[in-house]
Amino acid sequence: MTDAVIIVAAGRGTRAGGELPKQWCLLNGKPVLSHTISAFQNALDARILLVLHPDEMQRGMELCGGAVTLVAGGDSRNASVRNALEALDGSPVTRVLIHDGARPLVTGAVIKDVLSALETSPAAAPALPVTDALWKGHHGYVEGTHDRTGLYRAQTPQGFHFPAILNAHRSYIGTAADDVEVARAAGLPVAITRGQEDNLKITYANDFLRAEVIIQERKGRKMDVRLGNGYDVHAFTQGDAVFLCGVEIPHSKALLGHSDADVGMHALTDAIYGAMAEGDIGRHFPPSDPQWKGAASWIFLEHATNLARDKGYKIGNADVTLICEQPKIGPHATAMMAELARIMAVEPSRVSVKATTSERLGFTGREEGIAAIATVTLIAD
C-alpha cells in the first residue's frame, strides 16, 4: 500500500456551537468523522491516519477500533499534520492525501482527480473558482472591490508526494492556513484540480442542515423538513415554585394547570405535534381524563418526540422563548436546555431556551402568568 490519508480533526470546532467539537456532532445519525472516514474507505485502498486532540484518543478508539491509525495532534494544524507525517516516515508510502475532518461529503471523483494529478506534479489540491464579486470593507462599509480573476476557494484533500511534503513540514516555520501553503513555501508546484460545491467544510451550525440535505439527495430522495410552532399560557396561582422547561425554580407563586403547568415544555410539545399535523397536547392527553391530573410535562414531550421518530423524523433544532417579568430565566437557561435535550434525546446544541418580557404590557407584564412560544424543525431520517 503506497497511498496514505491523513484526516485532521484535532481542533475544537467552537464556531459550530454546542458542547462537542463539530467533528463529533451527529450528521444523519453518525458522527461527522464517521462520514469522512467512510468516504476515503470507499474511494481507495489506503492507510488512514486520524489526527485527534490528545483528550479524544479514547473516543477515537471507540469510533474506529483498529480500522485507522490514531495520532495525537499538536498545538497547531501544522504540528498536527507533521505528527502524522512523522508517523509515516520509514513506511512504503509514496503519496499522501491530507484532508479536513470536517469535510464529510468529499466524493470519490474529487479524491481520484487529486491522485491523478500527482502522476505529473508533486502536489495537487481541489478548488473552486471564485464567482461572486469581492469587496473590501471597513467598519461595515464597502471601501472598494477586488478583481476575482484567478482566485479560488481551496478545498481538501490536498495531495503530495510523501517525501516532499514531509521535508516541507520539517523546514516550515510559523503557522499556515493549509498544507498547500507549506508546500509552496518549500518551492513545490501545486496543481489545481476540480473541487465540488458539495465538498463543504462544516464550520457553523447551519452547515449541518446543508450537509443533511446533500446526504438525502445522494440517497435519491428529497429532504422532508417540517416546521412546527407552539404557544401556551398559564396563569399564576398560590405556591412557592414554578416548573419551566423541566426545571423547578423557586418563586413566590406557582403556575396553574391541569398538569404541572410547564408552559415552556407544553409549547415545545405542541410545536412537535404541529410539525407532524398531529394536533396538540389536548388531542393526545385530554384534560378531561383524570389520569393526567398533575402529570409531569416530560411525559407529553417524550410522547411527541417518540411519535416523530416513529414517523421517520428527527429533531433538527428546538427553540423556546419564555415571556414573563418574573422569575428571571437567564440563570436557569442552561439547565433547561440540558433537560429538554435529555428528554428529546438530542444534543444540547440543538436546543435553545431564552426569555423576554412584554415591557410591563398585558397579562405577562402585570405578572398574572407566563406565556411561551416554541419552534421546532423535524427532518426526515
The CATH number of whichever domain residue 181 belongs to comes to 3.90.550.10
Q: What is the mean pLDDT of residues 315-326?
A: 95
Least confident piece of the model among 17-31, 51-65, 131-145, 196-210: 17-31
Give residue-wise pLDDT tens across range 327-343: 999 999 999 999 999 99
- Cis ω for the linkage preceding 327 (within 30 of 0): yes
Instruction: Indicate if 268 and 295 belong to the same structural domain.
Output: yes
- pLDDT confidence band for 1 (50 / 70 / 90): low
Instruction: Indicate if 173 and 285 belong to the same structural domain.
Output: no
Percent of the chain with pLDDT over 70: 97
Instruction: Indicate if 131 and 269 belong to the same structural domain.
Output: no
Q: What are phi and psi of 359, to 5 degrees?
A: 55, 40
Across the chain, mean pLDDT equals 92
- pLDDT confidence band for 126 (50 / 70 / 90): very high
pLDDT computed for residue 357 by the predictor: 94
Instruction: Indicate if 196 and 231 belong to the same structural domain.
Output: no
Instruction: Indicate if 303 and 233 belong to the same structural domain.
Output: yes
Q: What 3-state DSSP class applies to 204?
A: coil
pLDDT beyond 80 at 15: no
pLDDT computed for residue 222 by the predictor: 62
* pTM (predicted TM-score): 0.63
Instruction: Indicate if 279 and 242 belong to the same structural domain.
Output: yes
Q: Residue 308 belongs to a domain with what CATH number?
A: 3.30.1330.50
Task: Tell which of 218, 234, 260 closes a domain.
Answer: 218
Buried b (16+ CB within 10 A) or exposed e, 289-305: eeebeeeebbbbbebbb
Contact 125, 193 (CB under 8 A): yes
- pLDDT confidence band for 13 (50 / 70 / 90): low
pLDDT beyond 60 at 17: no
Instruction: Indicate if 47 and 154 belong to the same structural domain.
Output: yes
Least confident piece of the model among 36-40, 113-117, 215-219: 215-219
- pLDDT confidence band for 28 (50 / 70 / 90): confident
Domain that holds residue 10: 3-218
pLDDT computed for residue 65 by the predictor: 82
Instruction: Indicate if 143 and 252 belong to the same structural domain.
Output: no
Instruction: Indicate if 362 and 254 belong to the same structural domain.
Output: yes
The C-alpha R_g of the chain, in whole angstroms, comes to 26
The CA-atom distances, in angstroms, between 21 and each of 14, 26, 180, 260, 354 are: 6, 11, 25, 36, 23
Instruction: Indicate if 182 and 234 belong to the same structural domain.
Output: no
Instruction: Indicate if 155 and 303 belong to the same structural domain.
Output: no
Question: What span, in angstroms and rounded, lies between the C-alpha atoms of 102 and 66?
Answer: 21
**Cα dihedral 125/130/136/139 (nearest 10):** -80
| Residue located via cell numbers 501544522 | 78
Task: Tell which of 187, 218, 249 closes a domain.
Answer: 218
Number of domains in the chain: 2
Give residue-wise pLDDT tens across range 167-192: 999 999 989 999 999 999 999 999 99
Q: What is the mean pLDDT of residues 16-20?
A: 63
Q: What is the mean pLDDT of residues 349-372?
A: 94
pLDDT computed for residue 14 by the predictor: 57
Task: Tell which of 218, 239, 274 closes a domain.
Answer: 218
Instruction: Indicate if 47 and 176 belong to the same structural domain.
Output: yes
pLDDT computed for residue 291 by the predictor: 84
